[in-house]
Structure 1
Amino acid sequence: MTAPALPAVMTVTLNPAIDQTITLDRLAVGHVQRAKTVQHNAGGKGINVAGCLADWGVPVAAAGFLGADNQAAFAAFMTAKGIADHFVRVPGETRTNIKIADLSAGDTTDINLPGPAVTAPAWAMLIKSLTQTVRAGDLVVLGGSLPPGLPETAYADLCAVLSATGARVVLDTSGAPLTAALAASGPKPWCIKPNRAELEGWAGRPLPDRAALLAAAADLLALGLGRVVISLGAEGALFVEAGQAVQVCLPPVQAVSTVGAGDAMVAGLTAAALADAPLDRAARLAAAFACAKLAQVGPHLPARSVVEDLAATAETVVLR
């Protein structure tokens, strides 16, 4: 008798990008400068999540839309990482996003360009592929902005389709697409990961302290979500589910690039969910993924032992 297949992970990136990361000693606006380095990486939230999960050793597939004219970088990335390619190709070029990493400030300035338009037939093709591939128990990560041609309800529609397969959905987006997914009458995502500003945008009010953040998380759980993760930058993150709340922090590290750190956190919480880890372990692992990613350019993690050491040194506070 054949053993049932273990749960797997699928990431969906509807508006991917080639990330051009330019490293400068110091960004001086309005002046001609010489870059220290420039690097091009396949990017987009789901791509970044898939890359980190693959480095961790999780079997992962990636889907979404790619421009047919410059798909080579993505195909090479997925082949090198062992990521199963389920992308739908559309006419035109995948967009390029420019990331300017300022070494002196330890931060990154993003200039994100629009992507190619997605037609109704391409959208139908992606949904058909997902329903044929995703199984009960799988984790599906939906992330990023929406490309031209898709309605604000696109993630809400995907949540309904994927929930019908029995999959758990992790949604990492913001603005109108997030609001629509949370307002839909159908199934909600299992988990979301807003930052403070994104959560304030949904709540429609300031959330100045931990009590206010926890109250907003409780409102989300009441809608039917299973877990809410609120990223707080240098303050770490809050992990909240029914009856439990944990805040996790890691010691500061020298950031080579902040691009994709939030996506690495999503990868960490997804890896923890796949292993049915308790909330404290999930918080530690997600924070360790994010911290480890800060020392990397592109969607990569260092050796597993480095990430585990960071998870072991993470400080967690049980709030309830």
Structure 2
Amino acid sequence: MQMVITVTLNPALDRTLNVDNFTIGTVNRVTKARYDIGGKGINVSKVLKNFNIDSLCLGFLGGIWEDYFLQELKRRKISSNFTHIDEDTRTNTKVVDTLQGTFTDINEAGPDIKKSELERFMDTFEDSCKNGDIVILSGGVSPSVPSDIYGKLIKIAKEKGAATILDAEEELLKEGVKAKPDIIKPNIHELTKLVNLGEDTDEAIIKAAKELVEYGIKKVLVSLGERGAIYVTQNGVYKCDGLKVAVKSTVGAGDSMVAALAYSLMNNFSDEYTLKFANACGAATVMLEGTEACTLEQVKALVDNVLAKEEKY
């Protein structure tokens, strides 16, 4: 049976604080607070669960938040097999100021991962992957984890016959791309650093994405925020405009798009509809507070409003 495996090597408890007129250097009063288990792979699993897709969460958990994460995943009926570590899983703080329309992220670096802990995780990952699975590798890693980790995991997954989706940045993305994952989902800033993009015009983005496809990556989804997204595959080039929606939180929009890619693979969506569906997922997520996961109903309510078309290049 096909399984979706999500890898979160640096999970975080996401604490979202609503503060009116957030000001540096003064006492700020919180009007509302919420706590969500997070980390990009976990966020993907939360969305997939809302889409009635089971997944297996892998990665590292430790310290004071470990039990909270495991209880919350169990409550959501999401399977997991995290590798226990000695140090504490980190906390990320998001400050939302709706009066000023600002979103401020304060992210911790993450715990020190011992060599023995990393080796245990690698064994768990290899044992979990099998032919036909979809493996999603997303997010950052703590400073103690080598930057070629995703490249190694992609190689293992491909040897097992699994499809791979990579969503990372900087060195993690550069090293991961060398292993030729099936799909990557960079945003415009990540793509710019990956290929030294000189300008962020549609033409430049499409040219860069096409070169990545020629290199051996089957599909490249570039998220452009309010501008929409560009999707380049072995079949063609597709573009869609962004949806104008009320933004409550920008956290997790990219993770929802990654979940949409996996869901589209499982349902054999066309490239054009995949792009529409992914963009609707991102839009549905920014309308929610914290790192709350969008539902299939919320996405379906938006998907027909996404204007996507094939571009001739």
Give me the TM-score of the superposition, normalised by structure 1. 0.93
- Structure 1's unaligned 5+ residue stretches are none
- Within the candidate set 275, 291, 311, 2:303 is matched to 311
Q: Quick one: which amino acid aligns to residue 89 of structure 1?
A: H
* Cα-to-partner distance string for 1:5-55 (whole Å, 9 max, x where unaligned): 2x2211000011111111123333333221211111111100111111111
Alignment partner, residue 121 of structure 2: 126
- Within the candidate set 67, 84, 87, 2:82 is matched to 87
The 8 Å contact of residues 140 and 168 in structure 1, kept in 2 or not, is answered as yes
- Structure 2's unaligned 5+ residue stretches are none
User: What is the CA–CA distance in structure 2 between the aligned matches of 1:254 and 1:211, rounded to whole Å?
Assistant: 29
Matched, 1:150 2:145: yes
The 8 Å contact of residues 231 and 238 in structure 1, kept in 2 or not, is answered as yes
Alignment partner, residue 194 of structure 1: 186
> Offset at 1:318?
1.4
The 8 Å contact of residues 264 and 293 in structure 1, kept in 2 or not, is answered as yes
Alignment partner, residue 229 of structure 1: 221
Alignment partner, residue 216 of structure 1: 208
- How many residue pairs match? The answer is 312
The 8 Å contact of residues 108 and 259 in structure 1, kept in 2 or not, is answered as no
SS of structure 2 residue aligned to 1:161: helix
Of 20-29 and 258-267, more deviation after overlay is shown by: 20-29
Q: Quick one: which amino acid aligns to residue 301 of structure 1?
A: A
* Cα-to-partner distance string for 1:73-105 (whole Å, 9 max, x where unaligned): 211221122111111010021001111112134
SS of structure 1 residue aligned to 2:82: strand
The 8 Å contact of residues 193 and 231 in structure 1, kept in 2 or not, is answered as yes
- The percentage of counterpart residues that share the same residue type is 30
User: What is the CA–CA distance in structure 2 between the aligned matches of 1:303 and 1:151, rounded to whole Å?
Assistant: 35
> Offset at 1:119?
1.7
The 8 Å contact of residues 56 and 301 in structure 1, kept in 2 or not, is answered as no
The 8 Å contact of residues 59 and 83 in structure 2, kept in 1 or not, is answered as yes
SS of structure 1 residue aligned to 2:141: coil
The 8 Å contact of residues 107 and 257 in structure 1, kept in 2 or not, is answered as no
User: Cα RMSD between the aligned structures?
Assistant: 1.5
The 8 Å contact of residues 256 and 294 in structure 2, kept in 1 or not, is answered as no
* Cα-to-partner distance string for 1:234-287 (whole Å, 9 max, x where unaligned): 011111101311112343111111111111111112111121211111111111
Of 96-105 and 234-243, more deviation after overlay is shown by: 96-105
Matched, 1:53 2:45: no
Give me the TM-score of the superposition, normalised by structure 2. 0.95
